[in-house]
Amino acid sequence: MKVFKFGGASVKDAPAVRNMTAIVKSFSNEPLLIVVSAMGKTTNALERIIQLYKTGGDYVAEINALKAFHQTIVKALFTDAGPIQEALDEITEEMYMHLEQSGDEDWQYDKIVSLGEVLSSVIVHRYFLQEGLSCTWADARNLVRTDSTFREGKVDWEQTEVNIRSLKEKLEHTLVITQGFIGGDADSQTTTLGREGSDYTAAIFASCLQAESVTIWKDVPGVMNADPKRIPNAEVFPELPYKEAAEMTYYGASVIHPKTIKPLALKNIPLYVKSFLNPDLPGTKIHDCRIDHLPPLIVFKENQCLVSCKVTDYTFVDEEQLTTIFHALSELNIRLNVMQNSAISFSFCIDFRENKLNALIGRLQEQFEVYYNTNLTLITIKNYDEHSFESYRKQSGILMEQSSRSTLQVLVRM
Ligand code: ASP
Ligand code: MG
């Protein structure tokens, strides 16, 4: 059996849903499990709704807009929109109910934000049925078991495997459609796996079902060596080793969610990244292979912040001081993207998140003079060649630079 994942862009409007249905139809003579994300930018809209509710803004208008967005899709797709309209009303009611509930913020966030995937999967499921596809709707909240870390659920693989394997028999007779990004804890409370987590969901299902492959359908022709919006002559990789793909995601390539590769590599399940706009193109195959000469891979990671801790008393940066810094970072759950030390200072680059940065600075200021710059971009060139090495080092606005034998990183104000 195969696992297909369709992200938000592939179900962003009625023509997109028709297009993804045509793709599914062309594979429907084999066992298939389909993971869908929320439609278009629904998850961002749901985050806005929560924010508006909390700050006394007009969340009702935002809910109405989101409902209208889905209604437009439904009206264009269905000959009889009645039953699906009822489902849409129910899910909107649930949204209001969860907003008004009091409780932990992250717990509430997951209950609300997960509804985007629920809505999307309900609509696509009904549309499949209308189009004559035999298909079962499965609720990922009861299948993907996580701990109770809301917004960043950690998968309980043992229980998840038991749950997901119960789908095996169904998959012999029908397609199964489920939701990306969402799961549930041992108390049946909804959790999510972190933003953009639907790719990871596809890998979880594939691993538990020992699928023959996973295909992520995207609006790009495959995994490319740079973002084509920035670098017009970017090329598609026909194939990539798991390790290379995993490292790309570490440096910030957003084409695949960082957690996706590991479960697949462990079971040797190939991952295809293909274009839903042009399904006949070969795309990229990520698998266990060796490639001797990869072209330079360029990743831009935006919204970076450079923090420098300076020693104030004419001593040098020593291991004890570094321990203090690392301790603060680890306690605040902040990941370092690059770091560098000099005699009297230690500098590092992190993703900018205002509340985390403030908490960090508060702690570091007890011992250091702290400086920081925001709005920076970290450019990583992996497998650089002479030309790319020289050209990225020559640009203006570089605040920090580092290179190894294979990788160059420059932190720039662009
Ligand atoms: N809908 C979720 C998000 O936008 C999950 C996903 O798209 O992968 O973050
Ligand atoms: Mg997405």
* Whether residue 409 has its Cβ less than 6 Å from ligand 1: no
Is the pLDDT confidence value at 412 over 90? yes
* Whether residue 38 has its Cβ less than 6 Å from ligand 1: yes
Nearest atom (ligand 1) to Cα of 117? 1
pLDDT at 312: 85
Query: Rounded to the nearest 10 degrees, how much is the dihedral formed by the CA atoms of 289, 27, 43, 116?
Result: -140
Q: What tens digit of pLDDT does each residue of 16-64 get? A: 999 999 999 999 889 999 999 999 999 999 999 999 999 999 999 999 9
On whether the CB atoms of residues 337 and 383 are closer than 8 A, the answer is no
pLDDT at 51: 96
- Nearest alpha carbon, ligand 1 atom 7: 196
On whether the CB atoms of residues 183 and 153 are closer than 8 A, the answer is yes
- Nearest alpha carbon, ligand 1 atom 2: 196
Q: What tens digit of pLDDT does each residue of 287-333 get? A: 999 998 899 999 999 999 999 999 988 889 999 999 999 999 999 98
Mean residue pLDDT across the chain: 96
What are the helix (H) ranges across 332-409? 354-364, 386-394
Between the CA of 55 and the centroid of ligand 1 the distance, in Å, is 24
On whether the CB atoms of residues 302 and 229 are closer than 8 A, the answer is no
Domain boundaries, the chain: 2-218, 297-412
Q: How far apart are the first and last CA of the chain?
A: 46
For residue 175, which amino acid is it?
Answer: L
The beta strand positions in 95-233, using DSSP E, are 135-137, 175-179, 182-184, 190-192, 213-218
Is the pLDDT confidence value at 126 over 90? yes
Is the pLDDT confidence value at 169 over 90? yes
Between the CA of 10 and the centroid of ligand 2 the distance, in Å, is 9
What is the chain's length?
A: 414
CA dist list (Å): 240 to 200, 243, 273, 292, 295? 18, 8, 11, 11, 11
Is the pLDDT confidence value at 368 over 90? yes
The CATH code belonging to domain 2-218 is: 3.40.1160.10
Is the pLDDT confidence value at 286 over 90? yes
Is the pLDDT confidence value at 243 over 90? yes
Residues 6+ apart with CB under 8 A from 364: 307, 309, 324, 325, 328, 370
pTM for this model (two decimals): 0.92
CATH classification for the domain delimited by 297-412, as one of 3.40.50.300, 3.30.1330.60, 3.30.2130.10, 3.40.50.720: 3.30.2130.10
Confidence class for position 380, pLDDT limits 50, 70, 90: very high
Is the pLDDT confidence value at 182 over 90? yes
pLDDT at 293: 87
C-alpha atoms less than 13 angstroms from C-alpha of 49 in its C-beta half-sphere: 30
Is the pLDDT confidence value at 203 over 90? yes
* Whether residue 222 has its Cβ less than 6 Å from ligand 1: no
* Whether residue 180 has its Cβ less than 6 Å from ligand 1: yes
Residues 6+ apart with CB under 8 A from 339: 346, 347, 348, 349
pLDDT at 333: 87
pLDDT at 8: 97
* Whether residue 183 has its Cβ less than 6 Å from ligand 1: no
Q: Of the bound ligands, which one is closest to the alpha carbon of residue 194?
A: 1
The mean pLDDT of 278-289, rounded to a whole number, is 97
- Which contacts (CB < 8 Å, 24+ apart) does range 210-213 have? 210/267, 210/269, 211/1, 211/2, 211/3, 211/33, 211/269, 212/1, 212/2, 212/269, 213/2, 213/3, 213/269, 213/270, 213/271, 213/272
Confidence class for position 399, pLDDT limits 50, 70, 90: very high
pLDDT at 275: 97
Is the pLDDT confidence value at 254 over 90? no
pLDDT at 375: 97
Is the pLDDT confidence value at 204 over 90? yes
Render the burial of 391-411: b for 16+ CB within 10 Å, e for the rest: ebeeeeeebbeeeeeebbbbb
Between the CA of 24 and the centroid of ligand 1 the distance, in Å, is 21
Confidence class for position 222, pLDDT limits 50, 70, 90: very high
